[in-house]
Structure 1
Amino acid sequence: MDQNSTANQPLAGDDAVVPFAVETLDVRGRAVTLGPVLDSILGRHNYPEAVNKLLAQAVTLTAMLGSTLKFDGRLTLQTQTDGAVSMMVVDFNAPDGLRATATFDANQVAEVAAKEDFRPEFLLGRGHLAFTIDQGQYPSRYQGIVVLDGISLEEAAHDYFLRSEQIPTRVRLAVGEVLTRQDEGPNTHQWRAGGIMVQFLPHSPERMRQADIHPGDAPHGTEMHEIDEDDAWLEARSLVDTVRDVELTDPALPVEQLLFRLFHERGVKAFEPHVMSDRCTCSEDKIVSMLQGLGEQDRSEMTEEGAIAVKCDFCGTDYNLDPEVVFKA
């Protein structure tokens, strides 16, 4: 759909990733607004507000990246750090399923969140972020790792694409809360998040060149290899940098209208949206299969009063199983 004339086109609405292209700038990208799906994922966990904000950013980034999969597979974003939030895992299971969980120290989270200049990335500390792509029916897996050392998830995404894909990329993420006043009863609360990602993909590979990464332990005096960035990419990146958080989370601003605001002078095309859903992949069969792979000691430790209780960290489903059935010969 051509976003310069979308009066008669249906809008994607919440919980959908919208691919788009600005051909005059050789740019392609994705934009997303998450509403009820995100609210459902976060609502079942009852995490502290600061953890919800960080996890919502991770879910938004995973939705944009996962929607690019062209096969029936899975993309997983996982962080492991020494920070207040020691681990986050977000899965995108093609074609539309999202699920997420986090592990954290509540006291450390409260201490970090109380800082006046608090930002969600302060919860991460030192560690790494891994993007893992499981190709489903194919045995090979791909993994890209980014070092986390005080950087945001936006910056981590930029680092990932620079090192792993060599594609000039810009990412913006935002998380917001909507409070609705009620005439009777308590006010309602909803989580929202939005994101936009643009990538420079010109026909000529020479136009994609970027400056080298820092030379690290190269001899003293080694100069960085400087490359002038392409004017088209500079323009696209600068436009995305003007996006405000409120524009990415505003319920009254559809993704298509935001794209028009940014790129109407250049002409932007929005394509068929990818609808997201809150969907866990756990099942009793998968739990049983996992348990059957345990050793004797682990089996006995998990069995209590003649039963095995397993709780899914993602969706909270409780599985109560009979060990005699699970471990039968």
Structure 2
Amino acid sequence: MSGTVETWFDQPLVFTIAARHVRGRLVRLGPVLNRIVSAHSYPPVAEQLLAEALVLTVLLGSTLKDETSQLTLQAQTGGGPVELLVCDYRGGELRGYLKFDADRLAEAGPEPTLFGLFGEGFLAITFDHATTGERYQGIVPLEGSSIGEAAEHYFEQSEQIPSLIRLAAHHDAEAGCVAGGLLLQHLPQGEVGRDRLHARQDRPDWDHARTIAETLKAEELTDPATSLETLAWRLFHEEEVRVDPDVMVSRGCRCSTQYFAGVLAQFPESERREMADEAGLIQVDCAFCSRIFPIPVSEIGAPE
């Protein structure tokens, strides 16, 4: 906790404005983000895209109450240079990676649009609830000026929850890659007996809170000198705001020799032999951490 208090990195802040029926989350990623992106040699455009996507993943994933449940965010190309973006969050553990055509991405320039990155792609957000075994997935087109706006469309179409998402990322000479984000939402239901909020035409409480939140600047989200609590109070100083720290975020690549051996054990023995090289090793490449795991084919047991 002390490291977070000093740096304001890697721990979401949950805040609620009860009188406005509004809830929100703020997060600023630093050390954890750098551990994830440092495993790859991403160009600046790719690093910023992944950084913002990881922030969005934390904002959405941290809403899950069960630490064994998982949120997966996936953006897939519709002809753009970015072929695939995958991030997931489970109990504070965060990971993600990008697959892209380096030459085409370079041709897109230093500030490509979302369409310039993905073409007519789509965004899929999947909630896997461990306690109930239920899985819910929403898929929307990658529309808007950023992946944050695309996520807003997801909540509007799939959840019918008015939402505002702000994401920012930059590379600092001293701190490395720093990224921050805000998720603001109108509560799905107000007082007992009231209509669902998305069904009402007049939403003065939400309109007021959204207008204030839209004044938040990108540099405020990424400034480590300003705590997340200060940001919440700065925005909504005229309101009664309740703030609570959430679970610390950590790099969560779950790859291991044992895990991959277990996966490979599900394949027929003949296929495992075909996968192996001359030394009798199956070379497994983990896209998340950019590491190669040599698995001896002779040590892979039969599936249970």
TM-score (norm 2): 0.89
The alignment of Structure 1 onto Structure 2 pairs a total of residues equal to 293
Structure 2, unmatched stretches of 5+, are none
Cα pair 2:61 2:89 within 8 Å, conserved: yes
**Residue of structure 2 aligned with 1:277, choices 229, 250, 254:** 250
Query: 1 CA distance for matches of 2:220 and 2:131?
Result: 39
Q: Which residue of 1 aligns with 2:173?
A: 179
Cα pair 2:125 2:139 within 8 Å, conserved: yes
Structure 1 residue 194 and structure 2 residue 194: aligned? no
Structure 1, unmatched stretches of 5+, are 1-9, 181-188, 211-226
Following superposition, the deviation at residue 167 of structure 1 comes to: 1.1
Cα pair 1:121 1:153 within 8 Å, conserved: no
**Residue of structure 2 aligned with 1:310, choices 273, 281, 284:** 284
Amino acid at match of 1:143: Q
**Residue of structure 2 aligned with 1:168, choices 142, 162, 171:** 162
Query: 2 CA distance for matches of 1:256 and 1:68?
Result: 18
Following superposition, the deviation at residue 150 of structure 1 comes to: 5.6
Query: 1 CA distance for matches of 2:151 and 2:302?
Result: 46
Structure 1 residue 75 and structure 2 residue 71: aligned? yes
- Pair 197,317 (structure 1): closer, same or farther in 2 beyond 3 Å: same
**Residue of structure 1 aligned with 2:49, choices 45, 54, 57:** 54
Q: Which residue of 1 aligns with 2:298?
A: 324
Query: 2 CA distance for matches of 1:198 and 1:12?
Result: 23
Cα pair 1:16 1:274 within 8 Å, conserved: yes
Amino acid at match of 1:208: L
Identity of aligned residues (%): 39
- Pair 150,124 (structure 1): closer, same or farther in 2 beyond 3 Å: farther
Cα pair 1:11 1:256 within 8 Å, conserved: no
- Pair 121,24 (structure 1): closer, same or farther in 2 beyond 3 Å: farther
Q: Which residue of 2 aligns with 1:185?
A: none
**Residue of structure 1 aligned with 2:240, choices 267, 271, 277:** 267
List aligned pairs for 1:98-117, cutoff 5 A. 98-114=94-110
3-state DSSP class of the match of 1:194? strand
Following superposition, the deviation at residue 274 of structure 1 comes to: 2.1
Amino acid at match of 1:53: Q
Following superposition, the deviation at residue 148 of structure 1 comes to: 1.6
Following superposition, the deviation at residue 121 of structure 1 comes to: 5.8
Query: 2 CA distance for matches of 1:229 and 1:50?
Result: 40
3-state DSSP class of the match of 1:64? helix
List aligned pairs for 1:127-138, cutoff 5 A. 127-136=121-130, 138=132
Structure 1 residue 257 and structure 2 residue 230: aligned? yes
RMSD between superposed Cα atoms in Å: 2.1
Q: Which residue of 2 aligns with 1:87?
A: 84
3-state DSSP class of the match of 1:206? coil
Query: 2 CA distance for matches of 1:287 and 1:56?
Result: 27
- Higher mean C-alpha deviation, range 73-82 or range 286-295: 286-295
TM-score (norm 1): 0.83
Query: 2 CA distance for matches of 1:26 and 1:150?
Result: 26
Greater C-alpha radius of gyration:
1
Query: 2 CA distance for matches of 1:54 and 1:297?
Result: 41
3-state DSSP class of the match of 1:266? coil
Amino acid at match of 1:317: R
Cα pair 1:97 1:279 within 8 Å, conserved: yes
